Amino acid sequence: MTDMPSALSHIKVLDLSRVLAGPWCTQILADLGADVIKVENPDGGDDTRSWGPPFVKNEDGSDADAAYYTCANRNKRSIAVNLRTEEGRALVRDLAAQSDVVIENYKTGGLKKYGLDYESLKAVRGDIVYCSITGFGQTGPLSAQPGYDFLVQAMGGLMSVTGDDRPMKVGLPVVDLFTGVYAAGAVMAALIARDKGLGGQHIDMALFDVQAAMLANQAANYFASGKTPGRGGNAHPNIVPYQDFPTSDGRIAVAVGNDRQFASFASALGRPDWASDPRFSKNAARVANREVLVAEIIVEMSKEASAHWADILERAGIPNGPIQNVGEVFAHPQAKARSLAFTLPVTGAGEMTVVANPMRLTGTPPHYESGPPRLAEHTSQVLHERLGMSENQIETLRARGILTG
């Protein structure tokens, strides 16, 4: 928690998204101070609330929401509205009319039948910033297809360059996460454009597009050479040595970024001759002779334990590090010094541990006001505050199945 000003404290966000890419985007905006209203289905809410085990525990020991849900929903307020009813849709339109931003990740065109698509909401708020997140975008032959992180990792080339013997997905839903990050950046750019008098706009974010962009140096290598990149395991396609190596008691990651570092690395391993060997002295030569050099490094590094090499390489100025599991990451002194994990209160469940937003702004840092909301926890509060509805009006809508909470 902080008393410092927030960059987006003047921004109201209506979040119609669920699962990960959309909620990740809106959590970034919420951390930066935006007032995010999460609109959920009364029948269970966000799908990820049930994606367990593990589950967060209520104070009485019963299961609360799945841990998965909690990673992307702090600092938000939750309302539950039945969009299958006209009254429910009208409430959401009324909320959109006083919102700066709407985020949604329904199938392409899926909200048009509800009158909650961009054109419909633009009619009630002319300068609305409306962000649609889909698998394949609003155009193209696959625009109507649903998108899932694993599917797009496969179709978008990521699995073709990941793994050893067979294609592998990354151990995290990185396409969803990067799409959320790109979407947050696009929303903030659109808000800046609006403030410059350019009006609102529709943002078309696609997981497939994001994954293509994330091919980065691998795509650049392909365009320059015409050669399709393959799987290299933990090795780097353009730098050698830049991978993990076995030691006598484990493995250690080493990143040698230039020829000067390589000379120091060779001396640290007791092989200064490598630095003058024409096969290895320059990075391009090391890439061309990767197999020979890596085999020789393995011979040397297998002779001693990981701690030995960590000490030797540290003193030689060679970037290196252990391959840590998740628990070791948050127990590391660096993680503790940076407060990467901390607790937030969750209604009915006490304190829960969350991971900090990595953006460190000195003037308007991320703020942490509340843990992930329980389903429909703020329905009455939001409708009273935003739309001036009385408790009797809200209770009538609850009784008719239009609202919960």
Q: Are 267 and 316 in contact (CB under 8 A)?
A: yes
Give domain 12-214+338-404's CATH architecture: 3-Layer(aba) Sandwich (3.40)
pLDDT digits (tens, 9 = 90+) for 230-249: 999 999 999 999 999 999 99
Q: Are 42 and 199 in contact (CB under 8 A)?
A: no
The domain spans of the chain are 12-214+338-404, 242-325
- Residue 327 has a pLDDT of 97
pLDDT digits (tens, 9 = 90+) for 391-402: 999 999 999 999
150/364 Cα distance (integer angstroms): 35
DSSP H or E run through 175: helix 174-193
Q: Both tokens of residue 100?
A: 């700066």
- Annotated catalytic residue, options 46, 176, 204, 244: 176
Residue 18, Cα to own-chain centre: how many angstroms? 13
Fold observed for domain 242-325? formyl-coa transferase, domain 3 (3.30.1540)
Question: Omega before 53 cis (within 30°)?
Answer: yes
pTM for this one? 0.94
Mark whether 277 is an active-site residue. Answer: no
- Residue 66 has a pLDDT of 97
Same fold, 12-214+338-404 and 242-325: no
Residue 377 in this model has a pLDDT that exceeds 80? yes
Mean pLDDT of 250-271: 97
CA-to-CA dists, residue 189 to 22, 129, 201, 239, 285, angstroms = 17, 10, 11, 35, 43
- Residue 2 has a pLDDT of 56
Residue 168 in this model has a pLDDT that exceeds 60? yes
Residue 216 in this model has a pLDDT that exceeds 80? yes
Mean pLDDT of 53-59: 96
pLDDT digits (tens, 9 = 90+) for 298-320: 999 999 999 999 999 999 999 99
Q: What confidence category does residue 3 fall into, taking pLDDT thresholds of 50, 70 and 90?
A: confident
- Residue 4 has a pLDDT of 83
250/307 Cα distance (integer angstroms): 10
355/71 Cα distance (integer angstroms): 8
Report the chain's mean pLDDT, rounded to a whole number.
96
Phi/psi for 275 (5° steps) reads -65, -25
Within 8 A by CB and 6+ apart from 101, the residues are: 11, 12, 13, 14, 29, 34, 128, 129, 130, 131, 187, 191
